[in-house]
Amino acid sequence: MQRLHDAGIVYGDLREPNLMVRVEEDAEGKWQLDGCRLVDFEFCGKLADGALWPTGLNPALDWPERVLDGEVRVVMLPEHDAEMVAKLMARIQLERTSSDSSSSDSS
């Protein structure tokens, strides 16, 4: 993501269906993002051009704060991508925790 931001590009649609993610468990048992590939660049935009979020985003999806503001088009920012990365990692950690809990319950 940093490479895109360094090049002045905001990704925008950072959700599980648009990522091929590799995670690894660290020494403390926490999952860490080890690498990912982005697929689907439809929302991408240049920061210098003031790229805007599209209207009509599905409100059932977990978009960054203040992006779903009716029909007002909001400027896409690197902070939005960072927020989506944090949400993705939290979901992965939650899924791992739930999986670990289920595994220990069945033993």
Q: What is the number of alpha carbons within 13 Å of residue 54 lying toward its C-beta?
A: 11
Model pLDDT for residues 15-50, shown as the tens digit of each residue:
889 988 788 898 998 888 788 889 999 999 999 999
pLDDT at 44: 93
How far apart (Å, rounded) are the C-alpha atoms in residues 29 and 4? 30
pLDDT at 103: 60
Domain ranges, residue 40: 2-105
Structural domain total, the chain: 1
Output the CA–CA distances (angstroms, integers) from residue 32 to 29, 44, 57, 91, in the order listed.
Answer: 9, 25, 29, 12
Model pLDDT for residues 74-83, shown as the tens digit of each residue:
899 999 999 9
Q: What is the DSSP letter of 49?
A: G
**Using DSSP, how many helices (H) and how many strands (E) does the chain show?**
2, 4
